[in-house]
């Protein structure tokens, strides 16, 4: 008889950032897309995935906290203002959140960043990424990527009246910036769909990625990121045409006021 025991799965917490103060898309997190506020789709699919010990929203806004609690997320404390500015790096609020949770006896082996700006990411997407991550135990983190639409080999850094290629690679007589696209190396760009990492990476290395990062290749609309007003209009247009569909949220829509503070 085989008495070998399967190692227990590591614990993981979902961290959903939702600071106040967005400028590119006013009211972004609480703005209605389809029937619900944008953030509701991320909260709902995180819970639906069934992989998380807890689904935590990090926000500096009590109004956002009230809304996400309605959809089933936990907001055990508000994010301090010093970690909620326009240029505040993720490592600051992530480390603060994990340390605060640990001080309350809530520690996790891993965490996943799920940004509200990817409303078409589904529970299936999240489960697929978690499965892939667990197979690769030697990595520090996983990050969602997709093929670049504009190749960085064709990009330039301008300084005054001079410019240099962003990627100064390729044969001397045939630099990449003067090469045909089919001859260039395949390059991927990260999107906002999701990230997964070991908690130790944050606490020991003060980074959310670590040194060994594995790719998670998003499919279809999984990586669609609503980052500015054009993205929002495109999402609404594609939804109206039936070319995209939002994940189901099985609760009555939260009443979104017409006027409120701007949100991330």
> Would you say residue 24 lies in a domain?
yes
pLDDT computed for residue 264 by the predictor: 44
Structural domain count, the chain: 2
In a domain, 71, yes or no: yes
- The verdict on 111 and 41 lying in the same domain is yes
Same domain, 90 and 142: yes
Q: What is the pLDDT of residue 257?
A: 61
Q: Are residues 117 and 166 in the same domain?
A: no
For residue 21, what pLDDT band results from cuts at 50, 70 and 90?
low
pLDDT given at position 81: 87
Query: Same structural domain for residues 134 and 172?
Result: no
Other Cβ atoms less than 10 A from the Cβ of 85: the count is 12
Instruction: Give the closest residue to 251 by CA, choosing from 51, 69, 53, 128.
Output: 69
Least confident of 57-66, 104-113, 175-184, 216-225: 175-184
Task: Kindly report, residue by residue over 156-184, the tens digit of the pLDDT.
Answer: 999 999 999 998 887 777 888 888 888 89
Q: What percent of the chain has pLDDT over 90?
A: 76
CA distance 111 to 173: 47
176 plus 229 within the same structural domain: no
Q: Are residues 82 and 98 in the same domain?
A: yes
Q: Are residues 49 and 105 in the same domain?
A: yes
| 23 & 103 share domain | yes
What range does the domain containing 178 cover? 149-186
The answer to whether residues 88 and 202 belong to one domain is yes
Q: Are residues 193 and 170 in the same domain?
A: no
- Quote the pLDDT of residue 258: 54
Residues with Cβ within 8 Å of residue 221, at least 6 apart in sequence: 120, 244
Residue 40 pLDDT exceeds 80? yes
CATH label of the domain that carries residue 40: 3.90.550.10
Q: Is residue 119 part of a domain?
A: yes
Identify whether residues 20 and 112 lie together within a single domain: yes
Q: 237 with 40: CB under 8 angstroms? A: no
Residue 27 has pLDDT above 90, yes or no: no
**Beta strands 162-165 and 54-58, pairing class:** unpaired
């Amino acid at each position: 008889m085989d008495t070998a025991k399967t190692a227990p799965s590591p614990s993981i917490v979902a961290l959903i950032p939702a600071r106040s103060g967005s400028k590119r898309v006013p009211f972004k997190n609480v703005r209605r897309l389809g029937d619900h506020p944008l953030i509701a789709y991320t909260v709902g699919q995180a819970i639906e995935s069934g992989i998380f010990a807890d689904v935590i929203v990090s926000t500096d806004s009590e109004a956002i906290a009230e809304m996400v609690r309605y959809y089933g997320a936990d907001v055990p404390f508000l994010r301090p203002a010093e970690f909620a500015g326009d240029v505040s790096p993720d490592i600051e609020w992530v480390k603060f959140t994990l340390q605060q949770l640990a001080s309350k006896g809530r520690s996790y082996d891993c965490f996943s960043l799920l940004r509200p700006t990817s409303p078409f990411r589904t529970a299936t997407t999240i489960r697929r990424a978690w499965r892939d991550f667990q197979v690769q135990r030697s990595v520090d983190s996983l990050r969602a990527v997709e093929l670049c639409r504009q190749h960085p080999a064709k990009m330039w850094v301008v300084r005054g009246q001079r410019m240099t290629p962003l990627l100064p690679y390729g044969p001397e007589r045939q630099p990449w910036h003067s090469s045909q696209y089919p001859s260039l190396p395949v390059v991927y760009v990260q999107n906002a769909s999701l990230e997964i990492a070991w908690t130790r990476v944050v606490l020991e290395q003060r980074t959310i990625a670590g040194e060994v990062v594995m790719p998670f290749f998003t499919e279809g609309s999984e990586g669609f990121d609503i980052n500015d007003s054009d993205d929002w209009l495109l999402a609404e247009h594609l939804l109206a045409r039936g070319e995209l569909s939002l994940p189901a949220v099985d609760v009555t829509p939260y009443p979104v006021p017409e006027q409120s503070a701007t949100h991330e």
